[in-house]
Structure 1
């Protein structure tokens, strides 16, 4: 029997693009929320993203049809796809790069019960560090959707913390991320290996290895970061 839960229906629409529902939540009455489709404060949000490289083939096929010099192609594709799905369900689509910024990470932690890894990326019990949030759908009314509970945080049981020991310039530490140091390394000749295989700290994490991004996807993200 076909489900009438809106998150299930949204998931079916997203599947045609390799994207998935990443949970959702209803906003509290006294909670500050961004505008929904009516312009009034939204009452609910459904997060949209990917697990591993699920969306990568769909994005690549779309990218091949676009101008070579297109700026921010992944953001453009995500907005196009998620915006189309939002229109189907009477929602307003937002992106992590939209300004003013909306609290995607806080929403994700509430929706899926996740917590950050030492790298700042949310640690997922199944996908590890190999997942992403591409957008969200805001609704004017509350929806029937379950939020994730607080589960076991895999990083708590990790003693060696290889994710903090593999970067050749020690960009990640207990005090944060050395953004400038990382980019300087990538632009130098010594950063060629990182540019060709992806972030070594992220790759060092043993969790979610089955969802690790393929080489061309990692190169794409490294080039975008270095630029």
Structure 2
């Protein structure tokens, strides 16, 4: 497996998943929105898995509106400055910096990280659903391209399907995710899943990597605020 230069810095900072793509080899519909420039030849996807990134963010304090995004960008910028000081790099994600739509789940699937789960969060055989995509850059440096991981789809051998029965909103019972039921369940006045998906927490894969309760609540509070605005409750 090819590793980025100074990748230990990224691992220690919590961005412990990195994948280098040959920009020209990406599917056309995934590549086109990125509007690559002539000098750009690689795309690097940065993610975090497990608890380390949140520990680092908490150590800095949660004073800003988007502390994880801002921490992730600063970390990648520091890595670039030290590991590839001559490189020209352009962020296309997080959304606050990027001006294009980035197919994060598609990239994750191509990297071998992302498999579809009934509860609509990507799941990985090692980390479960306790990982996320944190930054994407386009770069002019011909770094070695990463090989996709192949740990298999963890849901294929799961017989209990505890995630389906754990969803009190009944959003998973028909075999296809029911978005309206999920939204109604989260927005209910006494919702048990407003600040944390019960189906996700019932998944037995990667439970040793489950986020701290404070991170679960922080992320869920952000999505809940979006749902409330969408529903005209704010």
Matching of residues 83-162 of structure 1 within 5 Å: 83-88=77-82, 89=84, 90=87, 91-97=89-95, 98-112=98-112, 114-162=114-162
**CA deviation profile, 1:54-95 (whole Å, cap 9, x unmatched):** 10111112234x3xxx33332232223223334442232332
Matching of residues 37-56 of structure 1 within 5 Å: 39-40=37-38, 42-56=40-54
8 Å CA contact 1:163–1:204 kept in 2: the answer is yes
Matched, 1:188 2:196: no
8 Å CA contact 2:20–2:144 kept in 1: the answer is no
Distance 1:163 1:99 in 2: 35
Distance 1:112 1:221 in 2: 24
Offset of 1:134 from its aligned partner?
0.5
8 Å CA contact 1:114–1:151 kept in 2: the answer is no
Distance 1:124 1:152 in 2: 8
Structure 2 gaps of 5+ residues are: 226-234
Distance 2:90 2:205 in 1: 34
TM-score (norm 2): 0.78
Cα pair distance change 1:201/1:143, threshold 3 Å: same
Cα pair distance change 1:35/1:210, threshold 3 Å: same
Offset of 1:223 from its aligned partner?
0.8
201-210 or 86-95, larger mean C-alpha shift: 86-95
Distance 1:73 1:149 in 2: 29
TM-score (norm 1): 0.80
Cα pair distance change 1:175/1:29, threshold 3 Å: closer
> 209, 212, 215: which is aligned to 2:210?
212
Equivalence for 2:67: 73
Equivalence for 2:228: none
* C-alpha RMSD of the superposition: 2.6
- Which secondary structure does the structure 2 equivalent of 1:168 belong to? coil
- Which secondary structure does the structure 2 equivalent of 1:115 belong to? coil
90-99 or 48-57, larger mean C-alpha shift: 90-99
Cα pair distance change 1:201/1:71, threshold 3 Å: same
8 Å CA contact 1:130–1:208 kept in 2: the answer is yes
Structure 1 gaps of 5+ residues are: none
- Which secondary structure does the structure 2 equivalent of 1:23 belong to? strand
8 Å CA contact 2:46–2:136 kept in 1: the answer is yes
Offset of 1:199 from its aligned partner?
0.9
Offset of 1:162 from its aligned partner?
1.7
**CA deviation profile, 1:85-118 (whole Å, cap 9, x unmatched):** 3444223233253442111211111122642122
How many residue pairs were aligned?
213
Equivalence for 1:26: 22
**CA deviation profile, 1:137-179 (whole Å, cap 9, x unmatched):** 322243213322544211111123221221111234533341x
